[in-house]
């Protein structure tokens, strides 16, 4: 790609904004290793300085000017940028980053209207978009990631894109690039939430051997019993709420807002919900609550309390008491 003369980076997702800027810089440098990069914060950039930076460099390199936080530009700077945008110099690259909110919106609109190329860097607020980000990230790095592996990674790492990106890079560096659920779980096993979730997932699926294996592994790697017990209760709660809501009909997306859960979590629960009766869920929740009391200090052997709870939950599936 050839470098644009004028790029508007719109949105406040830092990682995406930084990447959009870096892409321009890389593109310019491929053609012109002498390219001169200058960066300004809009809040204290004077129109005179801007003009100076945008004029051809003394040493002949293509100027790349990055204006950060464009939404903070004062009136005269906004006017100067808008005027420049009407007739940008094709031998210069100007990148204006803008948070995309209401503040300084006039400047963003003016640049768009003047024909600036736009790179979207909005925060990913939807779960599905973040999962897509993860999968794209692996693709970008030359790997391949399954949908449920992306979900597992989100569960383990959280929603911060920078952390997700670095987790993807780490996994790519340490594996052959074919990322499935097993790989993610193996890699993040030490993390309490993931360990707890894998124990709970297997338990509510009625898979005792897998649940016990995940539990023993978690305890062996030093995971505290309390978050495991919490995850177990959460697993039962999720299945119970989804199973109950499903009796009223409706697909995962319709249920998502009613239950306040992401659709993927609902779909996952729906798959295991079929084996559960209401009575079984009551028994399972009681076991989870008892376990919570035991790991909080009521019991001498907290590992045993967890094992018993896992087996009670799994046994409650499909039956009752």
Partner 1 sequence: MTATVFDELVGQADAIETLRAAALSANALLAGTNSHAGAMTHAWLFTGPAGSGRSTAARAFAAALQCVRGGIGCGECSGCHTTLGGTHADVRFVVPEGLSIPVALMRELVMRAASAPTAGRWQVLVVEDADRLTEAAANALLKAVEEPPARTVFLLCAPSTHPDDISITIRSRCRSVPLRQPPAAAVAELLTRRDGLAPETAVWAAAAAQGHVGRARRLAGDAQARARREAVLAVPRQLTTIGACFDAAAALIEAAEAEAADAVAALDATERSALEMALGAGGTGKGAAGAARGSAGQLKDLEKRQKSRATRAQRDALDRALMDLAGFYRDVLNTQFGRTVSPIHLDASPVAEAAAARWKPEATLRRLEAILACREAIDANVKPKIAVEAMMLALWKG
Whose structure tokens read 């299945």?
239
Q: Encode the chain in three state secondary structure.
A: CCCCCEEEEECCCHHHHHHHHHHHHHHHHHHCCCCEEEEEEHHHCCHHHHHHHHCCCCCCCCEEEEEECHHHCCHHHHHHHHHHHHCCCCCCEEEEEECCCCCCHHHHHHHHHCCCEEEECCCCCCHHHHHHHHHHHHHHCCCEECHHHHHHHHHHHCCCHHHHHHHHHHHHHHCCCEECHHHHHHHHCCCHHHHHHHHHHHHHCCCHHHHHHHHHHHHHCCCCHHHHHHHHHHHHHHHHHHHHHHHCCCCHHHHHHHHCCCHHHHHHHHHHHCCCCHHHHHHHHHHHHHHHHHHHHHCCCHHHHHHHHHHHHHHHCCCCC
CB of 239 to partner 1, least distance (A): 10
Nearer to partner 1, 94 or 199 (CB): 199
Stretch that binds partner 1, among 24-32, 118-126, 144-152, 296-304 (CB under 8 A): 296-304
When the beta carbons of 20 and 245 are compared against partner 1, the nearer one is: 245
Residue 234 C-beta: closest distance to partner 1, Å = 9
Select 208 or 289, whichever has its Cβ closest to partner 1.
Answer: 289
The answer to whether 193 contacts partner 1 (rule: CB under 8 A) is no
Nearer to partner 1, 17 or 233 (CB): 233
**CA atoms of 82 and 114, how far apart (whole Å):** 8
Pick from 206, 207, 282: nearest CA to 244: 282
Residue 53 CA to its chain's centroid (Å): 36
Residue 206 or residue 227: which is nearer to partner 1 going by CB? 227
Residues 226-285 that bind partner 1 (CB under 8 A): 230, 233, 237, 240-241, 243-245, 247, 278-279, 281-282, 285
Using the rule CB under 8 A, which residue among 48, 158, 190, 298 binds partner 1? Answer: 298
Q: Which is nearer to partner 1, 73 or 315 (CB)?
A: 315
Stretch of residues binding partner 1 (CB under 8 A), selected from 74-82, 155-163, 201-209, 293-301: 293-301
User: How many residues lie near partner 1 (CB under 8 A)?
Assistant: 22
Stretch that binds partner 1, among 44-52, 96-104, 177-185, 288-296 (CB under 8 A): 288-296
Q: Binding segment for partner 1 among 108-116, 186-194, 264-272, 289-297 (CB under 8 A)?
A: 289-297
CB of 306 to partner 1, least distance (A): 14
> Which candidate, 80, 89, 9, 26, places its Cα nearest to that of 57?
89
Cβ distance to partner 1 smaller for residue 152 or 233: 233
Cα separations in angstroms, 261 against 84, 100, 202, 254: 47, 28, 20, 11
Q: Which of residues 126-185 bind partner 1 (CB under 8 A)?
A: none
Applying CB under 8 A, the span of 38-46, 131-139, 157-165, 294-302 interacting with partner 1 comes to: 294-302
Cβ 51 to partner 1 shortest distance, Å: 40
Taking the least distance from each CB to partner 1, the nearer of 166 and 270 is 270
* Nearer CB in complex with partner 1: 185/241: 241
Residues that bind partner 1 (CB under 8 A): 230, 233, 237, 240-241, 243-245, 247, 278-279, 281-282, 285-286, 288-289, 292-293, 296-298
């Amino acid at each position: 790609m050839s470098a644009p003369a004028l790029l508007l980076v719109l949105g406040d997702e830092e990682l995406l904004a930084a990447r959009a800027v870096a892409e321009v810089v890389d593109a310019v440098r491929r053609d012109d290793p002498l390219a001169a990069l200058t960066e300004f914060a809009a809040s204290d950039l004077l129109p005179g300085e801007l003009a100076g930076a945008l004029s051809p460099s003394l040493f002949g390199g293509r100027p790349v000017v990055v204006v950060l936080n464009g939404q903070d530009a004062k009136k005269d700077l906004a006017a100067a940028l808008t005027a420049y945008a009407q007739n940008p110099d094709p031998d210069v690259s100007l990148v204006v980053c803008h948070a995309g909110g209401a503040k300084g919106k006039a400047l963003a609109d003016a640049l768009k209207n003047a024909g600036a190329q736009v790179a979207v860097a909005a925060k990913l607020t939807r779960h599905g978009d973040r999962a897509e980000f993860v999968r794209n990230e692996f693709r970008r790095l030359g790997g391949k990631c399954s949908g449920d592996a992306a979900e597992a990674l989100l569960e383990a790492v959280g929603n911060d894109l920078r952390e997700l990106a670095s987790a993807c890079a780490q996994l790519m560096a340490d594996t052959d690039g074919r990322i499935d659920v097993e790989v993610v779980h193996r890699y993040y096993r030490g993390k309490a939430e993931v360990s707890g979730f894998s124990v709970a997932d297997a338990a509510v699926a009625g898979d005792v051997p897998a649940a016990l294996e995940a539990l023993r592994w978690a305890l062996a790697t030093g995971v505290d019993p309390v978050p495991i017990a919490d995850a177990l209760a959460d697993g039962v709660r999720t299945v119970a709420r989804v199973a109950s809501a499903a009796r009223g009909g409706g697909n995962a997306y319709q249920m998502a807002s009613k239950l306040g859960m992401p659709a993927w979590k609902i779909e996952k629960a729906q798959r295991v919900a079929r084996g559960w009766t209401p009575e079984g869920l009551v028994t399972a929740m009681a076991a989870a609550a008892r376990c919570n009391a035991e790991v909080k200090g009521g019991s001498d052997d907290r590992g045993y309390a967890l094992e018993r709870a896992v087996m009670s939950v799994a046994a409650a599936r499909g039956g009752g008491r």
